[in-house]
Every structure is written in C-alpha cells, then in structure tokens.
Amino acid sequence: MNHEDLYEKIKQSSEEITIPNKIKPEKMNQMLKNSQAPKKKNPLLYVAAPALSFVVMAALVVTVMQKNDMPSSLSNYTGSIASNEAQVLVEKAQEIQDGIDAISSILYPANSYEKLYKQTIDVASEKEKKYYFIEEDAVNEETLNASGAISDLSGTRSDFSNTNLRTEGVDEADMVKTDGTYIYSAIDKSSIRCYKANKGKSTLISTIVPTPEDLGGEIKEIFLNENRLYVIFSKYESTLETDKEGTSFAEDIAYVSNNVTTSLSTYDVSDPKKPVLIATATQDGDYYTARKINQTFYLITSYYPEDGSQSFFDKIKNNFRSSSAAEKEGKNYAPKVNNEAISPCNIFLGKEQTSNDYLVISSISEEKPEKIIDSKAFSTYINNVYVSNQSLYLYYTQYSKNSSSTNIIKINLSEGAIIPKGVGNVPGTINDTFSLDEAEDYLRVVTTSSTQDNGLYILNDKMKIIGKLTNLAPGEQIKSARFMKDIGYFVTFRNMDPLFSVDVSDPKNPKLLGELKITGFSEYLHFFGENQLLGVGYEVNPDTNETVGGKLSMFDISNPSNVTEVKKTVIKSIDEIPALYDYKSFLVSPDKNLIGFMGTDWSGLVADTYYLYTYQPQKGFVLKRKIPIDVCTDKKARGIYIEDYFYLVHKDKVESYSLSD
C-alpha cells in the first residue's frame, strides 16, 4: 500500500468516529461567552457640546450681538470680531452637519442614550447572526498574504532612526523610540527601559514600571518627543459585582465585570534617570493604534459595550422598557473618555448594525496631555486604517455571494477636531494601508476583486469614484503597493511577480505606464534614494510555485514606463519575514544606506536572525550583519541606528555594532 492510500484509510476511519457533543461549535460558543462575563460601568454625568447644540449656540451668539447697542466706533471693532466668531461657529456647525450627511448611508449619530440602548439590545438579542457567504474555495496556506510597510523617503536631518512610518509627518507609536541619546524600549510590555547610548555603548539608566493600581495591564506602545515620553497602556480589569439596583432578578446575583481602558500617560523625561508622570488621559476600549499629527495625538481603541452573557441581556431586556430607564442604561453602554460618557451626538450607530463593536477615536494635544479635545465612536468593525496628514480612513470589506466591495469612511483630522467627511465604496478588497494614498484631496486605492481582477480607483473629496483603471493582471492578487506623487507602483502575484507602474497625475484618467515581470513577489515597497524602489518579499520557483526564501529587489524607477530590477538577492535561510506583517519593525534608511529586518528560519529549530544590509549600485545588496536573536523575544526586537552605531534592542538588552567597519 502506498502512503497516499494509507492516509486515505486514516481519513476514512476518522470520519466514522462520532464527534462528542461537548465540543460542537454551539457548545464552544456558549463556553466562550460564559468565560467573558459582562462588564458594568458606573453612570457618570456628562455635559457635552453635541453637534445640534452647536447650531443653537451659533444662532444665539448672532442674536445677542445684533441686539447689543454699542458705540459705533466700538461696535465696528467688536462687531467684526463677534460676527467672525459667530461665523466660525456657524461654519463649524455646518461642517459637522455636512459630515453627518456625508456618511448617512451607513452611519448616523445616536443623539440619545435611549437610542444607543435600543440598538445595543436589538443587535445583542438577534440570536441568529448572519454570516457572509462561504463558498468552496481553497484556503491557500502556502502563500503568505501579508501587509507591506514603511515611511516615505523622508529621512530626518538628525542622525538617528525614527520609526518606519506609513506617512511622512504622521508619527506612529511603537515599542522602541530614540532621541539620539537615549533609547526607550517597551518590548517587555510590563516596563519601559531607558538606555543611554554613547558611541556604541548602551547603559540601562532607569526603568518605568506601572503603579500597583495598573497591574493587570500591558504597555502597548510609546511616543517620544522633546523630553516627553508618552506611554500607551491598556488595563484589563475584572471585578466581581453584585446587582444593587434591585431589579426583578435575584439581588444577590454576582457577576464578573470586565473592563478594558486604554490610557496615554505623559512622562517628563528631561532627566531620564527620574521620569516624572505629569498627565494621563483615558479612553474605553482595547488599544488599536495611535498617530500624532503636528502637536495632536489621535488614540484609537476598539470597544465593545457588553459581551452578551444571556442572563445579562435577559436582565436589561426586562427592566429598561421605560424611556428614562433606557436613557440611563444606554449611557452605561457609551464608551467613556476621561471617565465621561461620550455624548450620544458623537456616537455613530450603523444603519445595518450587526455587532456592538465600536471604534473610538480621541484627540489629545501635546500641550494639555490630560485633556481630551474631541471624541467620536463609530459602530463598525474595520479591516485597517490609513492615516494621511489630514485624514483618517477606516475601511472594511463586505462580501456577498459572488463579489466583495470595500467601504471607506473618510474622517477629517484637523487640530484635534474629528469630523466625518464621507463614505466611498470600491469593488474588491484592499491589501493593506499602503494600497490607499491621499494626495490633494484625492484618494487613490488599489484593490483585488473576488474574481481576482485588480483595479485602481481615484476618489474625490466627496468619496466618489472619478477615475479608474481596471482589469489589471486578471487572476492575480495585489501583494504590495506604494505611491509617490503622481506615480503608483504595485506588485501582483500568482506565479510571476509583475510590478506595475501607473500614472495618476490626471485623477479622471489614470494610465498604465509599465509592467515588469520577475520571479517571486515583493510584499513591501519602499522608495530608496532617487529613482530607486526597494522591494522586500519572497522568491518563488515559478515551476513549482514553492517559496525558495526571502528576497530583496532593487528597482530602477527613473523611467516609470520602463521599470527594471537592477539587483536582487535571495536569502534561502529565510522562511518568513515578520516585518511584512508589521512595517514598523523594518529599518530602512536610504540616507544611512541601511536595510534591516528580522528573518525566521523554520527548518530544524526555529531560529530568528536580524539581517542588516547595505546597498551598493555595483555589488547590489551587501550583508553587513547577521545577528542571532533569542526566539523568546516574540519577534519584537527593533534595529535602530544612532550616528555610526547600530543598536539591536531586545526584550531585556541592547546590543550594539559599529557601522564604520
């Protein structure tokens, strides 16, 4: 009997056995739901300035000013100021109203906690949830369909590395940050280590550990700017509570309450030996991501009000029929920022809401890091976000039987104001955050449709498609994309790896410029110096379609119509490049001529190695360092440089290497 026959027999024999009831999906569902008991929140009074009252306020200001009798000389003066202010308020109110209108096809403001209550209950009690159509289609476990990564070819003037960013000018929180003298590392998640780096020598000088009341939490990521260290921390609290409100349910029922709160804590590190906590702002929900644009932080969390234990929903269904009780209870479901429930006018419910998930976005200024400037909550799950210098785009894909399309919600971020701008829809799915790019109010998006056609779509500021280029590389899938000014580059993959270049200078009429076919595929693209584009991905044997190893490619893009692969190197000992899922862990500096990333070797004992390359036009990619990494670091090590030294920051130590030899 050959092996296949034997395996077939094993398979057949295994299909005869009865699967025990207790591990059936519905039982596991119950088990999971029981394992996470509902959380309960204390209602707190909150007076917000909802969108509607903005209109009222503006109108009032105008009226008051008109009725005021003032000396003509003065009134000319103050009058102009007052009407300007009134004008600003009216415009602001109008802007908010326009934003609400613009996304009204999918989201609308709750405006009252009663509405929030009702919708939460409706969604939660809908027992039969609808799922997306599942069709017979193989899951290809071989092809790693990863995200790409990185900042533009910016290059800071100071001689040390910054986090690899998606958008130049939009800072991103990460686990390791440096100011050129000190290195702060939060890799360990339970403390922040501060090292002093001096010509290749690094000394641990202080450690920040959470206070006892913060136990049960986790340090997520950090920002560093001008003697201030900003620490993002998520706290997971579980407490046993009894119901004291005397409802029809037994009063002595106790349940576990779970609460996740994310905070942004500001430390003064002007003396890094003695960091001083100076402010903390909090927001409900688990940390999703954070950005900093100019002097404003945007903190994004995912929030789920109550998690669906049946007894809990029976209780609320039976007891909050009256409008005032519902209003009161609904407030408990609203996400809180700095311990105050977000105003119902700033909570957007879904037109076709299927889950009680919210994405909560708050803005916090560097100047007053304890204060929340603005907050919005959107009832939507998302695939990912893309943040440009002025906008936040949230996107999620919807599936129907034979097609998929992606909704993109545009939110304007302007000095802390978070204002929805519109919602657009493009066919297909979006690979990652690099597949979207904003330039001068236009959004360019590349997508792969369910029939595996690829397309480029250009949307205007109202999120309407005004230009497109479709039918690119049918049967293939977009693996990476990068835009530079008027040219977009993207890589698709099936067997070969075509790199496409597209002219998007005329938004109404994008043009395909060129197509380059090479083996393997790049999952991450990064502009590397003038007229060069770096691709990081995997090499594939075109005959067997098997991955051969990691691959670095350098493309000459001086003529976008005729892109060429000038150099490449294949690293056979790499089976996986974790940075392809986490672009922030790449070190790419065209100025310093450094390319650093981690590679995983799956053969034998799983081993991680940090690879540091430099690029020489003649020789191509030259390996500078190959540093073994302890597998236990959870693939989180970061490589940075300060002047002529390279530092590899591990969970509990920093290694350094000279770059000059």
Q: Which is nearer to other proteins, 225 or 383 (CB)?
A: 383
Query: Least distance (Å) from other proteins to the CB of residue 583?
Result: 12
Per CB under 8 A, 211 contacts other proteins: no
Per CB under 8 A, 104 contacts other proteins: no
Give the distance from CA 127 to its chain's centroid. 30
150 φ/ψ sector (left φ>0, alpha ψ -120 to 50, else beta): left
SS3 19: coil
Query: Least distance (Å) from other proteins to the CB of residue 449?
Result: 10
For 266, residues 6+ apart whose C-beta sits below 8 A from its C-beta are: 228, 229, 230, 231, 277, 278, 279, 280, 369, 370
**Which of the ranges 343-351, 453-461, 602-610, 644-652 carries the binding residues for other proteins, by CB under 8 A?**
602-610
Per CB under 8 A, 405 contacts other proteins: no
Q: Which is nearer to other proteins, 1 or 74 (CB)?
A: 1
At how many degrees (to 10) do helices 323-333 and 113-125 cross? 80
Q: Which is nearer to other proteins, 28 or 88 (CB)?
A: 28
Residues 427-486 contacting other proteins, CB under 8 A? 429, 450
Residues 36-65 contacting other proteins, CB under 8 A? 36
Query: Least distance (Å) from other proteins to the CB of residue 140?
Result: 7
Per CB under 8 A, 154 contacts other proteins: no
Query: Least distance (Å) from other proteins to the CB of residue 634?
Result: 9
Total number of residues that touch other proteins (CB under 8 A): 64
Question: What is the H or E stretch that residue 332 is in?
Answer: helix 323-333
Name 144's bridge partners. none
Distance, CA of 563 to CA of 560 (rounded, Å): 6
Q: Which is nearer to other proteins, 52 or 144 (CB)?
A: 144
327 within 8 A of 114, measured Cβ to Cβ: yes
Q: Which amino acid, residue 98? A: D
Give the distance from CA 256 to its chain's centroid. 30
Binding mask 301-320 for other proteins (x = CB under 8 A): -x-x--xx------------
At how many degrees (to 10) do helices 51-67 and 72-102 cross? 160
Residues 325-364 contacting other proteins, CB under 8 A? 355, 357
Per CB under 8 A, 632 contacts other proteins: no
Residue selected from 47, 146, 219, 414 as contacting other proteins according to rule CB under 8 A = 146
> How far is CA 98 from each of CA 288, 330, 416, 420, rounded to the nearest angstrom?
27, 26, 18, 8
Per CB under 8 A, 381 contacts other proteins: yes
Distance, CA of 193 to CA of 207 (rounded, Å): 5
Q: Render 600-651 in DSSP notation, one character per residue.
A: EE-SSS-EEEEEEEEEETTTEEEEEEEEEE-GGGTT--EEEEETTEEEEE-S
Distance, CA of 583 to CA of 577 (rounded, Å): 10
Residues 547-586 contacting other proteins, CB under 8 A? 581-582
Query: Least distance (Å) from other proteins to the CB of residue 521?
Result: 14
**Which of the ranges 25-33, 495-503, 513-521, 552-560 carries the binding residues for other proteins, by CB under 8 A?**
25-33
Give contact residues for other proteins (rule: CB under 8 A). 1, 3, 6-7, 9-14, 16-17, 19-20, 22-26, 28-29, 31-33, 35-36, 129, 131-141, 143-146, 302, 304, 307-308, 355, 357, 381-383, 396-397, 399, 404, 429, 450, 581-582, 602-606
